[in-house]
Amino acid sequence: MDGESPPGKPDNIKCRSPEKETFSCWWEPGSDGGLPTNYSLLYKTEGKNSYSECPDYKTSGPNSCYFDKKHTSIWTMYTIIVNATNELGTTTSDPQFVDVAYIVELRPPLNVTLSIIDDPPHLLVKWSPPSKADVKSGWVTVEYEVRFKSKKAQEWETLDAGKQRQLRVFSLNPSENYIVQVRCKSDHGFWSMWSPESYIQIPDNFPRKD
Amino acid sequence: PICPNGAVNCQISTSDLFDRAVKLSHYIHSLSSEMFNEFDEQYAQGRGFIMKSIDTCHTSSLNTPEDKEQAQQIHHDDLLNLVLRVLRSWNDPLGHIVTEVQGIREAPDTILWKAVEIEEQTKRLLEGMEKIVGRFHPGDLGNEVYSLWSGPPEKQITDENSRLYAFYHLLHCLRRDSHKIDNYLKLLKCTLMHGSNC
């Protein structure tokens, strides 16, 4: 049959956990060989010899697998492979080794609010922890970063807020419009996306930035 | 508050002890992660060590919680003692890591420095944890000598590659266990010091 072949190798398997309790993996399909192609994700955990199949192909969207709490163990090495199968054969991805402890990527912080404080003149940035992450119990410890820039500027200025949920910014130019964003990460994970842009106009009577 | 100079019966609060323990455990895990990543980049690329690293760690018999529910269901006394056990079970291996690093060809000083620093700070953390456990259960430190580690797997070390793998696996387990200790301590601190309202 012209132009038809076994499927290409799936690759770029990427896994992330939003709160160190569940996790998802995504993959990029290879070529389909000109034929209808099915994908299956198989995994085995440390100490187990046999593979199990992905428990949920839907929750995390196309070409994905979602592991709920029941299927998620921390500090355990998962060996993950993806098979692509069509009429002419099956092709298997390279194995991906994952420990959920090291793939935590939180959602962005929530409810970013900006307020001008008069005495001394400065900008107060406040936010709430990201959704899903259980910060209250201490299961997830979060650190934050704030970045801001004048609309006219090219470069962002970034400040480390540590574990605080607010930050005071003093070095601002009067009468300029500023953009502010906040991001976070669990103590040993990946940085989240930046929060949506928040805007504020700095009053004319603010002391000029030195 | 730190004890003022000359104070006689000044006792550091348990909350301060916990703060220090969490700072130390966070620092130890960060160093362990950096040391593992550095060694992995310099010595493990292309050797397929990660595939073999699903071998069990010497502490795997300790039955540590592997998710949030398990960690929250275990009584805090038991979790505190578990942290103590894991810490104690690293006493000998950390000494071995410091010695072994010096025998690895062209091992950068930064790996050796981290190994020495981790060994030092782990001892401090163990002392702090013994104080904390002593606060909850005076006189019940269960000071049993803990040696889950049976030393480097001599029989399996037949060449340079197997020797590097044995070291890689130890660093992999150190990174994992230091992360567990850090996570459990943060959980305990929130539960015991802040009523789960961190």
Q: Model ipTM?
A: 0.87
Q: What is the pLDDT of residue B119?
A: 97
Across the range A29-35, mean pLDDT stands at 92
Query: Would the CB atoms of B56 and A72 count as touching at under 8 Å?
Result: no
Q: Which residues of B touch A47 (CB under 8 A)?
A: 54, 56
pTM for this predicted structure: 0.89
Asked if A101 is an interface residue toward chain B (Cβ–Cβ < 8 A), one would say yes
Distance from CA of B7 to the nearest CA of A (A): 32
Nearest to A139 among B68, B176, B194 (CB): B68
Q: Which residues of B touch A21 (CB under 8 A)?
A: 67-68
Q: Which residues of A touch B51 (CB under 8 A)?
A: 79, 95, 97
Distance from CA of A126 to the nearest CA of B (A): 17
Distance from CA of B30 to the nearest CA of A (A): 8
Query: Would the CB atoms of B187 and A137 count as touching at under 8 Å?
Result: yes
Distance from CA of A101 to the nearest CA of B (A): 8
Query: Would the CB atoms of A137 and B196 count as touching at under 8 Å?
Result: yes
Packing angle between helix B91-101 and helix B109-136, nearest 10 degrees? 170
Whether residue A119 contacts residue A162, with contact meaning beta carbons closer than 8 Å, is answered with: no
Residue B1 pLDDT level (bands cut at 50, 70, 90): very low
pLDDT in tens, A62-98: 999 999 999 999 999 999 999 999 999 999 999 999 9
Mean of pLDDT over chain A: 94
Asked if A72 is an interface residue toward chain B (Cβ–Cβ < 8 A), one would say yes
Exposure b/e, B114-151, CB count within 10 A at least 16 = b: bbeebbebbeebbebbebbbeeeeeeeeeeeebebbee
Q: What is the pLDDT of residue A82?
A: 98
Q: Which residues of A touch B36 (CB under 8 A)?
A: none
Q: Which of B11, B26, B5 is nearest to B138 (CA)?
A: B11
Is 80 exceeded by the pLDDT of residue B139? no
Nearest to B187 among A77, A95, A138 (CB): A138
Residue B78 pLDDT level (bands cut at 50, 70, 90): very high
Query: Would the CB atoms of A97 and B53 count as touching at under 8 Å?
Result: yes
Asked if B10 is an interface residue toward chain A (Cβ–Cβ < 8 A), one would say no
Asked if B46 is an interface residue toward chain A (Cβ–Cβ < 8 A), one would say no
Report the distance separating Cα A112 and Cα B162, nearest Å: 52
Distance from CA of A97 to the nearest CA of B (A): 7
Q: How far is CA B175 from the centre of its chain?
A: 8
DSSP state of B53: T
Asked if B54 is an interface residue toward chain A (Cβ–Cβ < 8 A), one would say yes
DSSP state of B107: -
Q: Could you tell me where the beta strands, DSSP code E, fall in chain A?
A: 11-16, 23-28, 38-45, 52-53, 64-67, 77-86, 89-92, 96-99, 110-117, 122-128, 142-150, 157-162, 166-169, 177-186, 198-201
Is 60 exceeded by the pLDDT of residue A109? yes
A40-69 residues touching B, CB cutoff 8 A: 46-47, 69
Residue B48 pLDDT level (bands cut at 50, 70, 90): confident
pLDDT in tens, A115-133: 999 989 999 999 999 999 9
Burial degree of A100 (CB within 10 A; 0-12, 13-18, 19+): buried
Nearest to B56 among A47, A73, A79 (CB): A47
Asked if B50 is an interface residue toward chain A (Cβ–Cβ < 8 A), one would say yes
